[in-house]
Protein backbone atom coordinates (compact mmCIF):
# COMPACT_ATOMS: atom_id res chain seq x y z
CA UNK A 1 0.00 0.00 0.00
CA UNK A 2 1.34 3.48 -0.87
CA UNK A 3 1.78 6.17 1.80
CA UNK A 4 -1.15 8.13 0.36
CA UNK A 5 -3.43 5.05 0.46
CA UNK A 6 -2.36 4.30 4.02
CA UNK A 7 -3.12 7.87 5.08
CA UNK A 8 -6.54 7.74 3.41
CA UNK A 9 -7.37 4.49 5.14
CA UNK A 10 -6.19 5.94 8.47
CA UNK A 11 -8.54 8.93 8.10
CA UNK A 12 -11.38 6.69 6.92
CA UNK A 13 -11.03 4.56 10.08
CA UNK A 14 -11.17 7.70 12.24
CA UNK A 15 -14.33 8.98 10.54
CA UNK A 16 -16.04 5.59 10.75
CA UNK A 17 -15.42 5.56 14.55
CA UNK A 18 -17.06 8.98 14.98
CA UNK A 19 -14.20 11.46 14.61
CA UNK A 20 -15.94 14.04 12.43
CA UNK A 21 -14.55 17.40 13.59
CA UNK A 22 -12.67 18.80 10.57
CA UNK A 23 -10.02 20.59 12.65
CA UNK A 24 -9.25 17.39 14.55
CA UNK A 25 -9.07 15.34 11.33
CA UNK A 26 -6.76 17.93 9.74
CA UNK A 27 -4.48 17.86 12.80
CA UNK A 28 -4.42 14.04 12.73
CA UNK A 29 -3.61 14.10 9.02
CA UNK A 30 -0.73 16.49 9.68
CA UNK A 31 0.85 14.59 12.59
CA UNK A 32 2.44 11.33 11.40
CA UNK A 33 1.75 8.63 14.03
CA UNK A 34 4.67 6.67 12.54
CA UNK A 35 7.07 9.21 14.06
CA UNK A 36 5.85 8.30 17.59
CA UNK A 37 6.05 4.49 17.37
CA UNK A 38 9.45 2.81 17.58
CA UNK A 39 10.97 -0.55 16.68
CA UNK A 40 8.94 -3.68 16.05
CA UNK A 41 5.56 -1.97 15.97
CA UNK A 42 6.46 0.90 13.63
CA UNK A 43 4.77 -0.72 10.62
CA UNK A 44 1.47 -0.98 12.55
CA UNK A 45 1.43 2.76 13.29
CA UNK A 46 -1.49 3.41 10.90
CA UNK A 47 -3.76 0.71 12.32
CA UNK A 48 -6.50 1.74 14.74
CA UNK A 49 -5.05 0.02 17.78
CA UNK A 50 -3.06 0.92 20.88
CA UNK A 51 0.61 -0.15 20.63
CA UNK A 52 3.32 -0.79 23.24
CA UNK A 53 5.96 1.90 23.88
CA UNK A 54 8.91 1.90 26.31
CA UNK A 55 8.51 1.70 30.12
CA UNK A 56 5.60 -0.77 29.73
CA UNK A 57 3.26 2.00 28.52
CA UNK A 58 1.10 2.42 25.41
CA UNK A 59 0.39 4.88 22.63
CA UNK A 60 -3.41 5.16 22.58
CA UNK A 61 -5.67 3.95 19.78
CA UNK A 62 -5.93 6.74 17.14
CA UNK A 63 -9.75 6.78 17.13
CA UNK A 64 -9.75 7.23 20.93
CA UNK A 65 -7.18 10.04 20.59
CA UNK A 66 -9.48 11.63 17.98
CA UNK A 67 -12.63 11.29 20.09
CA UNK A 68 -10.91 12.70 23.20
CA UNK A 69 -9.50 15.62 21.22
CA UNK A 70 -12.91 16.27 19.67
CA UNK A 71 -14.58 16.28 23.12
CA UNK A 72 -11.97 18.75 24.39
CA UNK A 73 -13.03 21.32 21.74
CA UNK A 74 -9.64 23.06 21.75
CA UNK A 75 -9.58 26.70 20.57
CA UNK A 76 -6.60 28.38 18.86
CA UNK A 77 -5.72 30.65 21.84
CA UNK A 78 -5.96 27.85 24.43
CA UNK A 79 -3.32 26.82 26.95
CA UNK A 80 -3.66 23.06 27.36
CA UNK A 81 -2.34 20.64 29.98
CA UNK A 82 -1.95 16.96 29.11
CA UNK A 83 -1.26 14.44 31.88
CA UNK A 84 0.46 11.26 30.59
CA UNK A 85 2.75 12.19 27.67
CA UNK A 86 3.55 8.57 26.76
CA UNK A 87 4.76 8.62 23.13
CA UNK A 88 3.94 12.32 22.65
CA UNK A 89 1.41 11.63 19.87
CA UNK A 90 -1.62 13.13 21.63
CA UNK A 91 0.37 16.22 22.71
CA UNK A 92 1.52 16.72 19.11
CA UNK A 93 -2.08 16.75 17.88
CA UNK A 94 -3.09 19.19 20.63
CA UNK A 95 -0.17 21.44 19.64
CA UNK A 96 -1.63 21.89 16.15
CA UNK A 97 -4.95 23.06 17.63
CA UNK A 98 -3.80 25.14 20.63
CA UNK A 99 -1.49 28.07 21.37
CA UNK A 100 0.57 26.21 23.98
CA UNK A 101 0.68 22.67 25.34
CA UNK A 102 2.24 21.50 28.63
CA UNK A 103 2.51 17.74 28.95
CA UNK A 104 3.60 15.85 32.08
CA UNK A 105 4.98 12.29 32.21
CA UNK A 106 6.20 10.31 35.25
CA UNK A 107 8.84 8.29 33.26
CA UNK A 108 12.06 10.26 32.61
CA UNK A 109 13.04 7.94 29.78
CA UNK A 110 9.83 8.69 27.86
CA UNK A 111 10.26 12.43 28.48
CA UNK A 112 13.78 12.35 26.98
CA UNK A 113 12.63 10.36 23.94
CA UNK A 114 9.63 12.60 23.35
CA UNK A 115 11.70 15.81 23.53
CA UNK A 116 13.81 14.50 20.63
CA UNK A 117 10.74 13.59 18.57
CA UNK A 118 9.15 17.03 19.13
CA UNK A 119 12.38 18.67 18.01
CA UNK A 120 12.59 16.51 14.85
CA UNK A 121 8.92 17.16 14.07
CA UNK A 122 9.39 20.90 14.67
CA UNK A 123 6.72 21.29 17.36
CA UNK A 124 8.06 24.23 19.40
CA UNK A 125 4.86 25.08 21.33
CA UNK A 126 4.99 21.94 23.53
CA UNK A 127 6.76 21.83 26.90
CA UNK A 128 7.42 18.34 28.31
CA UNK A 129 7.85 18.01 32.06
CA UNK A 130 8.89 15.03 34.20
CA UNK A 131 6.57 14.74 37.18
CA UNK A 132 3.45 13.34 38.76
CA UNK A 133 0.82 15.04 36.63
CA UNK A 134 -2.00 14.35 39.06
CA UNK A 135 -0.81 17.48 40.91
CA UNK A 136 -1.10 19.50 37.69
CA UNK A 137 1.24 22.43 37.09
CA UNK A 138 0.31 25.15 39.62
CA UNK A 139 2.87 27.60 38.16
CA UNK A 140 1.22 27.51 34.73
CA UNK A 141 -2.43 27.35 35.89
CA UNK A 142 -5.17 28.07 35.08
CA UNK A 143 -5.63 25.99 31.93
CA UNK A 144 -8.31 26.37 29.27
CA UNK A 145 -8.27 22.65 28.60
CA UNK A 146 -6.93 19.59 30.46
CA UNK A 147 -6.63 16.11 28.97
CA UNK A 148 -5.69 13.13 31.13
CA UNK A 149 -4.60 9.96 29.32
CA UNK A 150 -4.38 7.59 32.32
CA UNK A 151 -7.31 6.49 34.48
CA UNK A 152 -7.97 7.79 38.00
CA UNK A 153 -10.77 6.60 40.29
CA UNK A 154 -12.01 10.21 40.49
CA UNK A 155 -10.98 13.45 38.77
CA UNK A 156 -7.90 14.64 40.74
CA UNK A 157 -8.73 17.70 42.89
CA UNK A 158 -5.65 19.74 41.84
CA UNK A 159 -6.61 19.33 38.16
CA UNK A 160 -10.18 20.51 38.82
CA UNK A 161 -8.75 23.49 40.71
CA UNK A 162 -6.42 24.37 37.81
CA UNK A 163 -9.20 24.45 35.20
CA UNK A 164 -10.29 27.95 34.17
CA UNK A 165 -14.01 28.84 34.55
CA UNK A 166 -15.53 27.84 31.19
CA UNK A 167 -12.69 25.35 30.72
CA UNK A 168 -13.06 21.67 29.80
CA UNK A 169 -11.26 18.58 31.13
CA UNK A 170 -11.56 15.15 29.49
CA UNK A 171 -10.37 12.08 31.38
CA UNK A 172 -10.97 8.36 31.90
CA UNK A 173 -12.27 7.48 35.37
CA UNK A 174 -12.68 4.10 37.01
CA UNK A 175 -10.72 1.16 38.41
CA UNK A 176 -7.60 0.21 36.46
CA UNK A 177 -8.64 -3.45 36.05
CA UNK A 178 -12.16 -2.66 34.80
CA UNK A 179 -13.74 -0.84 31.89
CA UNK A 180 -13.60 2.86 32.67
CA UNK A 181 -15.74 5.81 31.55
CA UNK A 182 -14.47 8.72 29.54
CA UNK A 183 -15.91 11.84 31.12
CA UNK A 184 -16.02 15.50 30.18
CA UNK A 185 -15.92 18.01 33.02
CA UNK A 186 -16.89 21.63 32.33
CA UNK A 187 -16.10 24.26 34.95
CA UNK A 188 -19.01 26.67 35.45
CA UNK A 189 -19.25 29.86 37.53
CA UNK A 190 -20.51 27.90 40.51
CA UNK A 191 -19.15 24.35 40.11
CA UNK A 192 -18.58 21.57 37.59
CA UNK A 193 -20.81 19.81 35.03
CA UNK A 194 -20.04 16.16 34.31
CA UNK A 195 -20.91 14.29 31.07
CA UNK A 196 -20.23 10.59 30.59
CA UNK A 197 -19.03 10.03 27.00
CA UNK A 198 -18.15 6.36 26.40
CA UNK A 199 -16.48 3.29 27.88
CA UNK A 200 -12.67 3.19 27.52
CA UNK A 201 -9.68 1.29 28.86
CA UNK A 202 -6.53 3.14 29.94
CA UNK A 203 -3.45 2.40 32.03
CA UNK A 204 -3.79 3.72 35.62
CA UNK A 205 -2.79 7.19 36.78
CA UNK A 206 0.00 6.33 39.23
CA UNK A 207 1.52 8.34 42.06
CA UNK A 208 5.09 9.65 42.03
CA UNK A 209 7.84 9.16 39.44
CA UNK A 210 8.53 5.96 37.46
CA UNK A 211 11.76 3.96 37.99
CA UNK A 212 13.09 4.55 34.46
Catalogue the active-site residues: 60
- Catalog residues that contact ligand SAM under the rule CB under 6 A: 57-60, 83-84, 86-87, 89-90, 104-107, 110, 132-134, 149-150, 202-203, 205-206
Neighbours of 162 (CB within 10 A): 21
How many Å apart are CA 129 and CA 132, to the nearest integer?
9
Write down the least CB distance from residue 2 to ligand SAM, Å: 26
For ligand SAM, the closer of residues 70 and 190 by Cβ is 70
Q: Are 21 and 70 in contact (CB under 8 A)?
A: yes
Classify each residue of 110-133 as buried b or exposed e, where b means 16 or more C-beta atoms within 10 Å of its C-beta: bbebbeebbeebebeebebebbbb
For ligand SAM, the closer of residues 108 and 164 by Cβ is 108
How many Å apart are CA 1 and CA 59, to the nearest integer?
23
For ligand SAM, the closer of residues 80 and 190 by Cβ is 80
Amino acid sequence: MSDAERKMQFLYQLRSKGVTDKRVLTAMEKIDRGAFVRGLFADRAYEDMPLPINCGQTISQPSVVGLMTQALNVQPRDKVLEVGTGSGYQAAILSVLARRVYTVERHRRLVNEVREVFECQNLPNITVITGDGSHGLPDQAPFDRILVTAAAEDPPGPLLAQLRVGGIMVLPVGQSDAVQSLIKVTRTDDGFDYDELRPVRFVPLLEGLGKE
